[in-house]
Chain A
Amino acid sequence: MSADHGHHPRPDPEPALRARALEALLVEKGLVSTDAIDAIVDLYERDLGPQHGAKVVARAWTDPAFRERLLGDGTKAIAELGFGGAEADTLVVVANGPTVHNAVVCTLCSCYPWPLLGLPPTWYKSPPYRARMVAEPRAVLREFGLELAGEVEVRVWDSSAEVRYLVLPMRPAGTDGMSEAALAALVTRDCMIGTAVPVAPGPPA
C-alpha cells in the first residue's frame, strides 16, 4: 500500500472508492463499458450457482451411465447438461463412498468450479480454510458439523493447477423414488465442496 505517487502524495482511497475510480477511469478512456461489467456481474450472481452442480449430482445419482461418464471425463459430461466455461475448463469429479470422503481446497489462491457452484463463499477464500484444510481436515469438517467415522479415509484435493474439482456426494438412504429435481434440492454447495453431506428429508411433522 506504499506505492510512491511521485511529488503529489495523496492518502490511499479506501477500496470502495478506489474501485469506483478505476472503473470510471477505464470507462472514460473508452476501454471498458458499464454494460459489460453489468453483464458479467449478472452472469455470476444470477445465472451460475450451486443449482447447476446439484443438477449434475442428481443426474449421476439417477443415471448410472451418466455417473460413469462424469467420473471418466467431468468436463464432457457436464457439457451434456449445458454447463462449463472459465474456471471449469478441466473438471475432475471425485466420488464419495462408504469409506472415502473427498473435500476440495485451494491453498495457493482460491480455485473453485465457478460454472457449477457460482461465486465461492468468503470462508473458502479465507486464510483459515486454505491453511488448515490440508493439515487438519477433520478439525475443519467438525466446525461445519460434519463428523466422519474413524475408518473413513479423508481425501483432500488441493487445486494447485488448472484442474477444478467437484465432489460427488453419496445419495442419502431413504431417497428411493424421489425425482431428480427433488434429489437436486438436497445437494447444497457445501456437499459439492466436501464440507457437508446431503441429508434425506425427514418424515413430515
Chain B
Amino acid sequence: MDGIHDLGGMHGFGAVVVPGGEAPYHEPWELRVMALHILVELQGLGAGPGGRATREQMDPAHYLQASYYERWLWSAEQRLMRRGTIAPGEVEGAAERLAAGEPEPPRSDPDQAVRAIAWLREVIGLQPVTRARFAPGQRVRVRRMRPAGHTRCPRYARGAVGVVERVQGADTLPDLPAAGQDKPVEPVYAVAFRSDELWGPSQEPAWTVALDLWESYLEEVA
C-alpha cells in the first residue's frame, strides 16, 4: 500500500545526524518488545499479514510519532489479536494491574530460549532461480501501480527505466495474491537506476540507486 512508510524521496524530515540518533534504542522495554515480536513469530501466536505489512497499516500520524520499537509493539498486538491469542482490551487491563502494583510474572522455559536462538541463527536464503524473464544488462521499466495491499515496490521507482544488475534469487512475491491464488515465487532482480531518471535534475553529481524488485514489478522496455 502507498502508505507513510514509503519514505524514499520525501521532503521535510530535517537532519539525519541529530542528538540521540546514534543509540539503537532509548529505553529497555524497546528491546524486550523486539524479542517478544520474535517469539510471537516463533511460537505462531500471530495471524494475518506479517509484522512489516501490519506496521504499514498504522495510522500515518501515529507511525511518524512512534519509535521504531513502538511500531513493533503495535504490530505484535495486532497480529496477536487477529489470531485470537489476546482479546481487545486485554493489554489495557494488564497495564492497569501493573500500574496498580501487581508484580510481573516470571516464567522460565529454557527450551524456548534455546529454540529462539537456534531459529535466529538459522540461514534461510533465497530460492534458486529456475526461469528468469530478464537478464543482467537488460533495460526494464518498473510498472505503474497503486496496490491496496502490501508491496515492496517503492513509489519513487514506478515508471522509471533501469538496468538489471544481478539476479538475486527467487522469493515469494510479498504483494497480495489475486483472488483465490497462492502468492507466486518469482526471480528478484537488483535493478540500477540513474538518479536523473528517478529525480530529474539535481545539484549533486549523478548517482545510482539500486533496488531489489520482484519480476511482477517489471516490464520490458520496447
Contacts and interface: CB of A to CB of B under 8 A. Distances in A.
A90 B21 contact: no
Nearest to B29: A19
A127 interface: yes
Interface in B177-193: 188, 190, 192
A131 B66 CA distance: 17
A106 B172 CA distance: 19
Contacts of A144: 16-17
A127 B14 CA distance: 9
A131 to B, nearest CB: 4
Contact of B207 (A26, A126, A137): A137
Given A33-B109, A138-B205, A108 B116 contact: no
A32 B43 contact: yes
Given A20-B95, A44-B34, A123-B22, A108 B152 contact: yes
A101 B188 CA distance: 24
A16 interface: yes
Contact of B154 (A30, A38, A108, A126): A108
Contacts of A24: 94, 97-98, 104-105
Contacts of B52: 109
A128 B15 contact: yes
B89 A161 contact: no
Nearest to A75: B125
Interface of A: 1-6, 8, 10, 12-13, 15-41, 43-45, 75, 79, 84-86, 88-90, 92, 107-110, 118-123, 125-140, 143-144, 150-151, 153-163
Given A40-B39, A154-B208, 5 more contacts: A17-B99, A32-B45, A32-B112, A128-B13, A161-B212
B13 A161 contact: no
16 contacts: A5-B92, A6-B88, A8-B89, A10-B92, A17-B98, A20-B104, A22-B80, A25-B91, A26-B85, A26-B86, A36-B115, A85-B122, A92-B190, A109-B52, A128-B16, A161-B213
B125 A121 contact: no
Interface string B1-43: 0000111111101111110111111110111111110111001
Contact of B62 (A1, A28, A30, A133): A1
B32 to A, nearest CB: 6
The CB with the most chain A CB atoms within 10 A, among B7, B32, B202, is that of B7
Contacts of A143: 15-17
Nearest to A159: B212
B204 A137 contact: yes
Nearest to A12: B92
B8 A41 contact: no
B207 A35 contact: no
Contact of A160 (B59, B85, B114, B211): B211
A203 B142 CA distance: 51
A8 to B, nearest CB: 6
B171 interface: yes
A40 B38 contact: yes
Contacts of A16: 27, 29
